Amino acid sequence: MKRIILFCLILFLTGCTKSPSVFTMVERADTGIRNVHYPITKVKKVDEVLNSYVNEVYQIFFTHHANGKYLCPELNIDYIYQHLEDRYLNITLFTYILDEVNHPPIDDVFSLFFDKSSHSFLSLKEVIKEESWENFSSLTKVKFQQQLPSFQEQEIQNLAFQIEEEVFSLYFVHEEELFTVTFPLDAVPLKFSFEPSPTPQEKIIPVSNSIDPKLPVVAITFDDGPTDYTNEVLQILKENDAVATFFVLGNKVEMYQNVIRDLVKNGSEIGNHTYNHKWLSRLSEGEIRFQIEKTQEKIKNITGIAPKFLRPTYGEVNQKIRRNTDLNIALWTVDPKDWKQKSPQKIASSILDIVEDEDIILLHDNHKRSVSALKILLPELKKQGYQFVTLSELTEVKRIREGKFFP
């Protein structure tokens, strides 16, 4: 049943999306956590293959969970996406499962390389120059055998592979463990030459928001975006002279760089919500730093501004996280549970019933119902005399109030 629901939701979003975007599903339950993130390309043949893989993983996961294989699990599907020369799509999906019994985590990987001109999928061998294949295979085998002595050369043709800006990566899963070999991109004998798309370098000058520290303030925050709904959120904020703080995932920043830049231009703030929403408190210190620092880098490359705030996934904070970041940890004071509550009116009402001065409200911009709730919430908060502030502005308001810097 869950597989059917997921598949229908994917088809719905694919049909509604006018340009490449990211499918996002974040589910929380007493039995565990599921995070799914991957591209919707608008190329039917590609999207069907991606959907099929995700549904297969999802079904296997729930079958194993029902059989008691996983206890309090985390399922995370992440991706790398490259659109090359407006002709080729290279996408890799990474599956990660963490549970209380099976350690280390369970990994899987799937990649595709699609030529839109010929409307065909290409294997690793088909993207390497024929005259270079033998040497490339030999070198690849040596590099994999340094990590996994049992690796055999016949595995090479079926390896998952991904082109990035300066790196060519090869992936192999053995006994549920992921092994990776990388080459400098310019050292790989590809049949095609690729130039990475430049990141826009226009300097962003944020709007300066006028705030009276003597009047009540409220900070609205959004997690798990950006998504196809985020631009609609921005328009609602504009209509109500409001700003918010958006805790974004690093793996979605490039795909949604235009809306992120527009958010900053209009006075909102961007925060760090990790790279791919893994359960941060359960990761090693090195993995925690990767999740935070890679996201910082992605956001700064797009906006020119490094985030000041980190919102750990699921609001869980421990000393291991605090040791590995200088960012301010930002939680919340009002949670309408919009990830679970289906009614926009009930989401808005649950906030309005308890909201107070200096509250931090948690919402998610990957749910249409949350966007609808925002349309109800903002005008009512304005009627009650609230000013809308970012978390940085809320911090400054508190500092001014504590210092009594106004008459």
Out of 37, 273, 364, 367, the active site residue is: 364
Digit-coded pLDDT (tens) for 90-118: 999 999 998 877 677 889 999 999 999 99
- Count Cβ atoms within 10 A of the Cβ of residue 209 and give its class: 0-12 exposed, 13-18 middle, 19 or more buried: middle
Per-residue pLDDT of 44-91, as tens digits, reads 999 999 999 999 998 888 888 778 777 778 999 999 999 998 899 999
pLDDT of residue 198: 58
Q: Taking the alpha carbons of 288, 339, 12, 263 in that order, is the dihedral positive or negative?
A: negative
List CB contacts of 22: < 8 A, sequence separation 6 or more. 37, 38, 39, 40, 79, 227, 251, 252, 255, 256
* Residue 312 token pair: 């750990």
Q: Which of 223, 224, 228, 365 is catalytic?
A: 223
Identify the H or E element spanning 200. none
Size of the chain in residues? 407
With CA atoms as reference, report the closest residue to 70 among 36, 96, 28, 98: 98
Cβ neighbours for 73, distance < 8 A, ≥ 6 positions apart: 31, 32, 33, 61, 65, 97, 98, 99, 100
Segment (H or E) for 171: strand 167-174
Reported for 123-132, long-range contacts at CB under 8 A and 24+ positions apart, including other chains, are: 123/157, 123/158, 124/156, 124/157, 124/158, 124/159, 124/161, 124/170, 125/157, 126/191, 127/161, 127/190, 127/191, 127/192, 128/188, 128/189, 128/190, 128/191, 129/189, 129/190, 129/191, 132/189
CA distances from residue 268 to 62, 229, 243 in whole angstroms, order as listed: 39, 16, 5
223 is known as an active-site residue: yes
Backbone angles phi, psi at 263, to 5 degrees: -60, -45
Tokens, residue 46: 């590609």
| Cα distance between residue 229 and residue 251, in whole Å | 17
Is 103 an active-site residue?
A: no
Q: Angle between the 257-265 and 230-239 helix axes, to the nearest 10 degrees?
A: 20
Phi, psi values for residue 400, rounded to 5°: -65, -45
List the pLDDT tens digit at each of the 407 positions of the chain.
Answer: 444 445 444 444 444 445 789 999 888 877 688 899 999 999 999 999 999 999 999 888 888 877 877 777 899 999 999 999 889 999 999 999 988 776 778 899 999 999 999 999 999 999 999 999 999 999 999 999 999 999 998 899 899 999 988 899 999 999 999 999 999 999 999 998 877 555 555 678 777 788 999 999 999 999 999 999 999 999 999 999 999 999 999 999 999 999 999 999 999 999 999 999 999 999 999 999 999 999 999 999 999 999 999 999 999 999 999 999 999 999 999 999 998 899 999 999 999 999 999 999 999 999 999 999 999 999 999 999 999 999 999 999 999 998 855 54
pLDDT at residue 12, rounded to an integer? 42
3-state secondary structure of 219: strand
Report the Cα 93 to chain-centroid distance in Å. 13
- The strand pair at 328-329 and 217-225 is best described as unpaired
Phi, psi (5° rounding) for residue 385?
90, 10
Task: Specify whether the CB–CB gap between 89 and 46 falls below 8 A.
Answer: yes
User: Taking a C-beta distance cutoff of 8 angstroms, is the pair 34, 75 a contact?
Assistant: yes
Find out whether 93 and 38 touch, Cβ atoms under 8 Å: yes
Share of the chain above pLDDT 90, in %: 76
pTM over 0.75: yes
Residue 311 and residue 317 in contact, taking contact as beta carbons nearer than 8 Å: no
Angle at 78 between CA 72 and CA 79, to 5 degrees: 170
- Helices marked H in 191-253 — which ranges? 230-239
Tokens (6 digits) for 337: 């549970």
Strand 359-364 to strand 217-225: parallel, antiparallel, or no bridges (unpaired)?
parallel
DSSP annotation of 128 reads B
Q: CB burial class (10 A; 0-12, 13-18, 19+) of residue 43?
A: middle
